[in-house]
Chain A
Amino acid sequence: MGLREDLERFREVGEQRRQDLAEFIQYGDLGGSGPDAVRVPIKLVDLPEFQYDRLDQGGVGQGDVEPGDPVGEPEEGDGDGDEAGEEAGEHEYYEMDPEEFAQELDDRLGLDLDPKGKKVVEETEGAFNDTARRGPRGTLDFAHLYKQGLKRKIAMDFDEEYVTEALRVAGWGVDEAFQWAREQNVPVSRAWLEERARDLDDTDRWTSIEEMEAELDAEPTQARIRRGGAGKVPLRREDERFRHPKIVERRERNVVVVNIRDVSGSMREAKRELVERTFTPLDWYLTGKYDNAEFVYIAHDAEAWRVERGEFFGIRSGGGTRISTAYDLAEAVLEDYPFSEWNRYVFAAGDGENSHDDTEENVIPLMREIDANLHAYVETQPTDGVQTGTHAGKLRDAFGEGDGVAVTTVTEPGDVMDAIETILSTEDNDEN
């Protein structure tokens, strides 16, 4: 008992009763869904009840309107929480997010598209181990600086008492002592010896240097330091080192999808619907597969212009068709999405019609020029229309396997799944 079980049961029920995915895509009502929520109608209308016809019911709203003014599609906003005994019967959808949809489609079509990570979206800081010569004071590696200074000091250090004794050798002056010191690799300077020699007493203590050496031992630096401390350690600027973190890059899996549609006069309702049924699932699929998906919608007849998603499927204009205008615009738009940082898909749809020569002269070269994971052309040719378009055929001739171009024809809703499969598996195959 408990909500968990109820939730599971709901998913079971929803899954059992919802429309088969293919049926939904090809024949179902896509209107209930949005870009981020795929709502598949549940076949068995769950929990019906006696209720008013929604359209006939009308309603009440608030706002400054006059009778006759259109009002937005009424939404049922009930405020927050506290809904006792609210009907469950209104919800007839099994809802899934694009990820789940993509998963299902993969299963259905036997695909396994693995999206590439491209754009560096995050640079995180790794361990603070790399060093540089310059940097903010706070990151100074003091330990290193001190060690270098210490090393330097040690290198320059010598037993002063011992060297002074060399000056006490009978007959030896600074020159002799200096030469001897050099031979011993003692880093004493001549000036230092001169200074010492000036006030020295007992300058004939030793008859010879051998005698001195036999008598005395130089105290090694370590012992001296241990005994008396390091004293002043010279810190040099050239020893300064500043730490900075190692940069770790996280790449985001981005995708930009350019949807292009011929909206010229010849693209009537039936064709438009086929385009919608093909493109919408592709958009969902890619949204589900990538971390971050952006969409560009381009409508064209003899000219091309950008539109919003909401208008994309509904627009219809008059006039002729010149497909390259759309690709020109696409290329311009895609400059904001460099291929090095973005996965790119360019999907175009129409009825195969194009201006004379435009395909060979312009479209095909543009398609080659625009780097993308995949180009696709969906030709909608309802059986009740007259087939006159040649664009698709020309594309098929120009591009072969491995070129990253999918061309497919859809004559009726039943073809949509195959078209989707063709398109998605083109990339899949090219990858593998």
Chain B
Amino acid sequence: MTRTDTEKRETAGELAESAREANALARKLGLDPYDVQYWVVDHDEMNELIAYDGFQTRYPHWRWGMKYEKQRKQTQFLGGKAFEIVNNDDPSNAFLQVSNDLADQKAVITHVEAHADFFNNNRWFGLFADGDGPNAAAMLERHAKRVEEFLEDPEIGREAVERFVDTVLTIEDNIEYRRAFERDPEGSDPDALSDTLASLGVSDEVRDEVFTEDWLEAVDAVDGDVRFPEEPEYDLLAFLREHGRTFDEDAGKAVEFEDWQRELVEMLRREAYYFAPQRTTKVMNEGWAAYWESTMMGEEAFADAEEFLDYADHQARVLNSPGFNPYKLGKELWEYVENRANRREVLERLLRVEGVTWRNFHDTVDFEVVADALAPPQALDAVDPDDLDAVEGLPGGYVDFGALAAARERELDVERFPWKLFTYEGLARRHYSLAKPQYRGFLGRVTRDELESVSRYLFETEQYTTVEEALGDVDFAAGWDRMFAVRESHNDVTFVDEFLTQEFVDANEYFAYEFSQTRGDFRATSTAAEDVKRKLLLRFTNLGKPTIAVYDANHENRGELLLGHEYNGVMLDLEQAEATLKRVFELWGRPVVLQTVTKRVTDAERKRARRNDREPDPEEIGLKLRYDGENLEHSELDWGEVDHLAADDLDYDTKPEEWL
């Protein structure tokens, strides 16, 4: 055993207890994680795992090498240690770096448990799972082996495989991520005939003799009166796998895919669907893990006193990395979800006190008194190991009496694990968000609009005689309950859509920005919640990519593929689009066309804008890109031809009128 192996074993031994206790605490807090298997790895292995998206094996491809390089250089420059990696599988596998100190390791473990809960409960992950879990590691390994076989097959050859994988990867994001992964997508198709022939067991030679390509195509052409696909198809990979061809240079025409090619498309497509839920819930998931990690490490002092400082440093670094930070946005939103739900619960009580209405709320309610009432009782907040009677004296629903008994027998270390004495309700009260110093003003900051809207749905507005009485009925777990419900049902799009309010944007100082052509740099455009939301949704919807669908598989009645870009106010990167289109050709075998809307600023407009020192106003024009295997041509389209692509209600452009 090498020295590092010994180190790993030792570290693993030390951490086993932490892992067990973290899981216990997580469950007490209401989390319900997949079982997690922890592994201790060294720095190189960690970087490898990250390169492979948290798995040990992937199909051979240089993209992993590139990821690894990027990761390695980033950690060099930013001094960031790769902290954790956990994958979505049942059981989940999580990897801890051997060299990290104990505080970091504990932070990672608590973080991981929260992720595992998210994987297990969020319904979007359920879209992929088989019934017995995703079986991801097994799947990825199978794929890796298969691709390796292709690479080594002398009939196929390395170049061809790599080239084909490259091609498929260019459209790996163009899937229907909202749908569950369908292994055999139904296709209503002219290829049914080919399939029937295949199933008849007719030999290739006979088939080619009688049913020549031309004949088959003619059949397709006849059926071409019926629009195909009937509805725009968003899963490009599935469509191309079914109906695409590849272009044979020598033969000078489109030919059927080889079996290995079809298989490869399907494998990569499956992987894309596997990873899609993670990508569509990244903000939620990271925020969720950061939130619970903080609760466990900071508030429950899962870290010892000395470790806590290291931990604070760790959190600071993670949350303050530059640029758009999903951890931060996610965590802030979750805290907001919690606070809002708790506030609503309190409001629903207070507004039912005799004499309190939404109009006079701020005048009749003494927020100091309320704050005091909401604060957790002393014995719950800070457990005195020598005074277990005080714990026993707490409201019954808060206490885990079995644990209390064990504590009295000295079978439980109350000093280290005070949380073991309590139930979920008890812990919810203990960590009640509105009682935390940083949120004490939250209740009072409620707007009149919200007060009015809450009271609209209240029956029995005179239920309580005093504020004290009302507060006695407060469900302190309202915040957490809501959070657990949301983590099940939402994804980043719906999460942001529902919870990003003006109050949130103001409190956390978010803003939207755009590029200014006049100034040549990026400038803030707005701090209005709708605009910030729009920019975020642009990033989250459809995996942050423009929506491209197959509109016609028999364009111009010549079997050309027509793709439509569903324009939402933000144009395509045309250079990239051209390059991608060329790749799509390799999967269709016949000319491919992309219709889009792009923005153009005329010279005249630019001059005018400069003279008036304002942002130039671009005109939106229809554009067609067509690639036939040799030439790529641009042509302008009448607006009528792209009208159907430009959704009027969606516009992600936030530049205000009087911007600069």
Which A residues are within 8 Å of any B CB, using their own CB? 1, 3, 5-14, 37, 45-89, 91, 95
A37 to B77, CA, bound (A): 10
Q: 6 tightest CB-CB pairs across the interface, nearest first?
A: A10-B65, A77-B323, A85-B275, A48-B579, A75-B323, A7-B65
Q: Which residues of A contact B526 (CB under 8 A)?
A: 67
Q: Is there contact, CB below 8 Å, between B659 and A63?
A: no
A74 to B515, CA, bound (A): 10
A81 to B509, CA, bound (A): 26
Instruction: Given contacts A10-B63, A65-B527, A82-B50, list 17 more A-B pairs with CB under 8 A.
Output: A1-B144, A5-B60, A6-B61, A7-B65, A10-B66, A47-B169, A47-B170, A49-B576, A50-B545, A51-B573, A52-B546, A56-B570, A66-B527, A68-B524, A79-B327, A82-B86, A84-B279
| Nearest A residue to B169, CB-CB | A47
Interface residues of B in 495-528 (CB under 8 A from A): 508-515, 519, 521-527
A371 to B579, CA, bound (A): 53
Q: Say yes or no for B333: interface residue by CB 8 A criterion.
A: no
Q: Is there contact, CB below 8 Å, between A58 and B53?
A: no
Q: Say yes or no for B219: interface residue by CB 8 A criterion.
A: no
Instruction: List 20 A-B residue pairs with CB atoms under 8 Å apart, sorted by A's residue number.
Output: A3-B48, A3-B65, A6-B58, A6-B64, A7-B69, A10-B62, A45-B579, A47-B63, A48-B583, A49-B170, A49-B171, A49-B545, A50-B565, A51-B572, A56-B571, A58-B653, A61-B510, A74-B522, A77-B322, A89-B169
- Helix, strand, loop or mixed for chain B's interface? mixed
A1 to B58, CA, bound (A): 9
Q: Say yes or no for B589: interface residue by CB 8 A criterion.
A: no
Q: Which residues of A contact B573 (CB under 8 A)?
A: 51-54
Q: Which residues of A contact B546 (CB under 8 A)?
A: 50-52
A86 to B52, CA, bound (A): 10
Which B residues are within 8 Å of any A CB, using their own CB? 48, 50-54, 57-58, 60-70, 73, 80-88, 115, 144, 148, 166, 169-174, 271-272, 275-276, 278-279, 286, 318, 321-328, 508-515, 519, 521-527, 532, 535-536, 538-539, 545-546, 548, 565, 570-577, 579-580, 583, 599, 652-654, 656, 659-660
Q: Is there contact, CB below 8 Å, between A8 and B65?
A: yes
Quick one: which of A45, A65, A95 contacts B69, CB cutoff 8 A?
Answer: A95
Q: Is there contact, CB below 8 Å, between B570 and A85?
A: no
A7 to B206, CA, bound (A): 47
A87 to B543, CA, bound (A): 10
Q: Is there contact, CB below 8 Å, between A52 and B570?
A: yes
Q: Is there contact, CB below 8 Å, between B321 and A77?
A: yes
A82 to B513, CA, bound (A): 27
How far apart are B114's CB and chain A's nearest CB, in angstroms? Answer: 12
Q: Is there contact, CB below 8 Å, between A6 and B510?
A: no
Q: Which residues of B contact A10 (CB under 8 A)?
A: 62-66, 68-69
Task: Find the residue from A56, A71, A72 having the highest chain B CB count within 10 A.
Answer: A56
A97 to B213, CA, bound (A): 54
Q: Is there contact, CB below 8 Å, between A84 and B522?
A: no
Q: Is there contact, CB below 8 Å, between B321 and A79?
A: yes
How far apart are A64's CB and chain B's nearest CB, in angstroms? Answer: 6
How far apart are A14's CB and chain B's nearest CB, in angstroms? Answer: 8
| Nearest B residue to A9, CB-CB | B62
**When A52-B546, A82-B84, A84-B88 are in contact, do A57 and B570 touch as well, CB less than 8 Å?**
yes
Q: Is there contact, CB below 8 Å, between B572 and A52?
A: yes
Task: Find the residue from B115, B174, B576 having the highest chain A CB count within 10 A.
Answer: B576
Q: Which residues of A contact B68 (CB under 8 A)?
A: 3, 6-7, 10
How far apart are B145's CB and chain A's nearest CB, in angstroms? Answer: 8
Q: Is there contact, CB below 8 Å, between A67 and B524?
A: yes
Quick one: which of B271, B524, B577 contacts A50, CB cutoff 8 A?
Answer: B577
How far apart are A32's CB and chain B's nearest CB, in angstroms? Answer: 13
**When A7-B69, A49-B170, A91-B66 are in contact, do A61 and B599 touch as well, CB less than 8 Å?**
no
Quick one: which of B82, B83, B527, B571 contacts A53, CB cutoff 8 A?
Answer: B571
A73 to B513, CA, bound (A): 11
Q: Is there contact, CB below 8 Å, between A84 and B54?
A: yes
A65 to B659, CA, bound (A): 14
Q: Is there contact, CB below 8 Å, between A64 and B82?
A: no
Q: Is there contact, CB below 8 Å, between B62 and A58?
A: no
**When A3-B52, A82-B85 are in contact, do A69 and B318 touch as well, CB less than 8 Å?**
no
Quick one: which of B66, B83, B521 contacts A88, CB cutoff 8 A?
Answer: B66
Q: Which residues of A contact B80 (CB under 8 A)?
A: 80
- Helix, strand, loop or mixed for chain A's interface? loop
Q: Is there contact, CB below 8 Å, between B519 and A70?
A: yes
Q: Is there contact, CB below 8 Å, between A60 and B166?
A: no
Q: Is there contact, CB below 8 Å, between A48 and B576?
A: yes
A129 to B379, CA, bound (A): 68
How far apart are A95's CB and chain B's nearest CB, in angstroms? Answer: 7
Q: Is there contact, CB below 8 Å, between A79 and B325?
A: yes
Quick one: which of B327, B510, B513, B565 contacts A58, CB cutoff 8 A?
Answer: B513
Quick one: which of A50, A59, A62, A91 contacts B70, CB cutoff 8 A?
Answer: A91
Q: Is there contact, CB below 8 Å, between B318 and A80?
A: yes
Q: Is there contact, CB below 8 Å, between A64 and B509?
A: yes
**When A47-B169, A59-B513, A80-B82 are in contact, do A71 and B524 touch as well, CB less than 8 Å?**
yes
Q: Is there contact, CB below 8 Å, between B322 and A75?
A: yes
How far apart are B308's CB and chain A's nearest CB, in angstroms? Answer: 20
How far apart are A297's CB and chain B's nearest CB, in angstroms? Answer: 22
A214 to B239, CA, bound (A): 127
Q: Is there contact, CB below 8 Å, between A66 and B572?
A: no
Q: Is there contact, CB below 8 Å, between A50 and B580?
A: yes
Q: Which residues of B contact A74 (CB under 8 A)?
A: 323-324, 513, 522
Q: Is there contact, CB below 8 Å, between A60 and B63?
A: no
Q: Which residues of A contact B322 (CB under 8 A)?
A: 75, 77
| Nearest A residue to B95, CB-CB | A81
Q: Which residues of A contact B326 (CB under 8 A)?
A: 78-79
How far apart are A400's CB and chain B's nearest CB, in angstroms? Answer: 45
Q: Which residues of B contact A70 (CB under 8 A)?
A: 519, 521-524
How far apart are B286's CB and chain A's nearest CB, in angstroms? Answer: 6
A242 to B302, CA, bound (A): 54
Q: Is there contact, CB below 8 Å, between B511 and A6?
A: no
Q: Is there contact, CB below 8 Å, between A69 and B522?
A: no
A87 to B583, CA, bound (A): 16
Q: Which residues of B contact A87 (CB under 8 A)?
A: 173
Q: Which residues of A contact B63 (CB under 8 A)?
A: 6, 10, 47, 88
A421 to B318, CA, bound (A): 45
Q: Is there contact, CB below 8 Å, between A69 and B524?
A: yes
Q: Is there contact, CB below 8 Å, between A58 and B65?
A: no
How far apart are A339's CB and chain B's nearest CB, in angstroms? Answer: 33
A89 to B73, CA, bound (A): 17
Q: Which residues of A contact B169 (CB under 8 A)?
A: 47, 88-89
A416 to B88, CA, bound (A): 52
Task: Find the residue from B58, B73, B579 having the highest chain A CB count within 10 A.
Answer: B579
A133 to B73, CA, bound (A): 53
A72 to B522, CA, bound (A): 7
Q: Is there contact, CB below 8 Å, between B539 and A59?
A: yes
Q: Is there contact, CB below 8 Å, between A59 and B512?
A: yes
Quick one: which of A11, A56, A65, A79 contacts B515, CB cutoff 8 A?
Answer: A56
A381 to B60, CA, bound (A): 51
How far apart are A88's CB and chain B's nearest CB, in angstroms? Answer: 4
Task: Find the residue from B67, B81, B326, B654 having the highest chain A CB count within 10 A.
Answer: B67
| Nearest A residue to B563, CB-CB | A50
| Nearest B residue to A69, CB-CB | B524
Quick one: which of A47, A62, A73, A78 contacts B509, CB cutoff 8 A?
Answer: A62
Q: Which residues of B contact A47 (CB under 8 A)?
A: 63, 166, 169-170
